[in-house]
């Protein structure tokens, strides 16, 4: 039995609210249950030095967590003077995941930055961030198309992500914090709507886990991400 009384293959309530920032070219507040991530997409007509004059653009992500997003207050990274290894690992993952569905040549020599700031955290912040970032990114490229800046859509597919884990020896979908902190295994799946794998990260926490368990997690992820694709499309108006 899950603490939240959800079925093993049941996701938390997921909501996607767009247009939440007055200035950003695209924005989205995504909730997976009590987890809330605010994503903004910023378009800049410049590129980092190593990417200039290559006939392509770039999509990157930054991730942060407000100090009191969690049960107990965490230290503000700006005050600590550096981003933790965990933060850097997550923002690299978000960037890679989004680039998997972007034609960087079609984007032209400009950069889109996805800022993913966790306002409240109850597990699954990186998967919520990826899922919401796709929506913010899609709105930003739509803006560029509407403005005539872009002629062709650089977004070549949908990408979304969910976590799964083995909790009390049962494979379950979309771990919340309470489950996550005592799960035997924890995994994140990032898939495209073409059925391709973008990224899999799976870790044994309390114990190693078997290949059979892994296959069950994979199946749950495919189900959950399918639901997320539907919600993403609804959020951007079809």
Residues that bind a second copy (CB under 8 A): 21-24, 27, 34, 38, 40, 42, 44, 62, 64, 66-73, 76-89, 91-92, 96, 100, 113, 115, 117, 119-120, 122, 185, 187, 191-192, 194-204, 207-211, 213-214, 218
- Choice between 7 and 13, CB closer to a second copy: 13
- Choice between 2 and 91, CB closer to a second copy: 91
- Choice between 88 and 230, CB closer to a second copy: 88
Is 6 assigned a ligand-binding role in the annotation?
A: no
Q: Which helix (H) or strand (E) holds 67?
A: none
Shortest Cβ distance from residue 52 to a second copy (Å)? 17
Is 126 assigned a ligand-binding role in the annotation?
A: yes
Shortest Cβ distance from residue 209 to a second copy (Å)? 5
Give CA–CA dist 182/87, Å, rounded.
22
Shortest Cβ distance from residue 65 to a second copy (Å)? 10
Helix (H, G, I), strand (E, B) or coil at 197: strand
- Choice between 47 and 200, CB closer to a second copy: 200
Give CA–CA dist 68/77, Å, rounded.
12
DSSP assigned state of 73: P
Q: Is there a contact between 20 and 38 (Cβ–Cβ < 8 Å)?
A: yes
Is 40 assigned a ligand-binding role in the annotation?
A: no
Rounded to 10 deg, the angle between the 85-99 and 125-146 helix axes is 40
Shortest Cβ distance from residue 125 to a second copy (Å)? 14
Question: If you compute the radius of gyration of the chain from its CA atoms, what whole number of angstroms results?
Answer: 18
Angular region, 168: left φ>0, alpha ψ -120 to 50, beta rest: left
- Choice between 14 and 191, CB closer to a second copy: 191
Nearest to 122 by CA among 188, 176, 185: 176
Is 92 assigned a ligand-binding role in the annotation?
A: no
Shortest Cβ distance from residue 112 to a second copy (Å)? 11
- Choice between 96 and 142, CB closer to a second copy: 96
Shortest Cβ distance from residue 81 to a second copy (Å)? 5
Beta-carbon contacts of residue 32 (< 8 Å; ≥ 6 apart): 11, 12, 14, 122, 123, 124, 127, 128, 174
Q: Edge-to-edge, what's the strand order for the sheet holding 14-18?
A: 14-18, 26-32, 35-44, 111-120, 58-65
Binding-site positions for phosphate: 86, 124-126
Binding-site positions: 86, 124-126
């Amino acid at each position: 039995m899950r603490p939240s009384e959800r079925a093993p293959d049941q996701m938390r309530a997921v909501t996607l609210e767009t247009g939440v920032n007055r200035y950003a070219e695209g924005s989205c507040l995504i909730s997976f249950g009590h987890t809330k991530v605010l994503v903004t997409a910023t378009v800049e007509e410049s590129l980092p030095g190593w990417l200039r004059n290559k006939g392509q653009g770039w999509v990157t992500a930054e991730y942060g967590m407000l100090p009191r997003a969690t049960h107990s207050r965490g230290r503000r990274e700006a005050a600590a003077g550096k981003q933790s290894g965990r933060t850097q690992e997550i923002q690299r993952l978000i960037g890679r995941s989004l680039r998997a569905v972007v034609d960087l040549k079609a984007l032209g020599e400009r950069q889109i930055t996805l800022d993913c700031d966790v306002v409240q955290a109850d597990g699954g912040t990186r998967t919520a961030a990826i899922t919401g970032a796709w929506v913010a990114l899609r709105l930003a490229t739509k803006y560029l198309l509407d403005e005539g800046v872009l002629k062709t859509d650089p977004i070549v597919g949908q990408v979304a992500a969910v976590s799964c884990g083995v909790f009390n020896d049962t494979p379950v979908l979309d771990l919340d914090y309470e489950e996550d902190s005592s799960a035997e295994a924890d995994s994140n799946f990032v898939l495209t709507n073409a059925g391709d794998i973008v990224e899999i990260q799976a870790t044994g926490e309390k114990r190693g886990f078997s290949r059979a368990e892994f296959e069950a997690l994979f199946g749950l992820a495919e189900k959950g991400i399918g639901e997320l694709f539907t919600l993403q499309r609804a959020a951007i108006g079809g």
